[in-house]
Amino acid sequence: MRHATFRFDVRSQPDTPEALMSKRDLSLFFLLEVGAIVWAIGLFKLIENKPVAGALAGLYFVGSGLFMLYRAVSWPKRWAALTWYCLFIHVFVISLPMLLLRFLQRDMAFENVQVLGLSGPQFHQLSSLVFTALMIATATDWLRAWWAARQRPTA
C-alpha cells in the first residue's frame, strides 16, 4: 500500500520580505497615505465648518486604514512587516478613538476635547507622529521587498 508523502519545499515559500508582503499593496498603501494628507489639508482649506472637515478627514483615515488592514491580513507573515504594527496602532489606537470621541464631544471646542487623557491638539500631535511612522514603515517595507527581489538569483 502506498502512502502519500508530503514534501515541504523551502524554495516554494521563501522567507524573504518580498514573500512576506506585497509590493503592490505597499505601493497602494503609500498612495492612500499621501492621499489622506492631501484630503485632510484640502478639506480644512475648503470647508469652513471645522468639525465637519475633521469628521470627513477622520472617516478617510479610518476607512483607508481599515482597507489597508484588510489587505495586510492576507500577507503570510504580516508579523515581520513594520507596516502591520504601525497600521494597527494608527487605526485602533489613534484614528478610531479620535473619530469616535470627537463625535461624542462634538459640541466642545477641539482644544477642550479629551482623547485618551490628552487634549485634542496634543492627541492630534501624537496622531501625526504615528501617521509619519506609518508612512516610514510603508516605505521601508517596500524597499525591503524591492531589495529582496533584486537579491533573488535569476535562473
Which pLDDT score is estimated for 2? 52
Asked whether the CA dihedral 103, 108, 37, 81 is positive or negative, the reply is negative
Q: What is the pTM of this model?
A: 0.83
Query: Above 60 in pLDDT, residue 33?
Result: yes
The three-state (H, E, C) secondary structure of 93-113, written as one string: HHHHHHHHHHHHCCCCCHHHC
Residues above pLDDT 90, as percent of the chain: 61
Distance, CA of 11 to CA of 78 (rounded, Å):
19
Residue 13 is given by DSSP the state S
Q: Which pLDDT band, with edges at 50, 70 and 90, does 17 fall under?
A: low
pLDDT in tens, 63-106: 999 999 999 998 888 898 999 999 999 999 999 999 998 888 88
How far lies 147's CA from each of 19, 52, 71, 102, in Å? 12, 43, 22, 42
Which pLDDT score is estimated for 11? 37
Angle between helices 96-104 and 120-151 (to 10 degrees): 160
By CB atoms closer than 10 A (0-12, 13-18, 19+), residue 125 is: exposed
pLDDT in tens, 36-63: 999 999 999 999 999 899 999 999 999 9
Which pLDDT score is estimated for 20? 57
For the chain, which residues make up each domain, given as ranges? 22-145
Residue 130 contacts residue 86 (beta carbons within 8 Å):
yes
Residues 6+ apart with CB under 8 A from 81: 17, 20, 21, 72, 75, 137, 141
Q: Tell me the H-state helices in the chain.
A: 17-20, 23-46, 50-72, 82-89, 96-104, 120-151
Which pLDDT score is estimated for 4? 45
> Mean pLDDT in the chain?
86
Higher pLDDT, 37 or 13: 37
The stretch 111-132 carries a mean pLDDT of 93
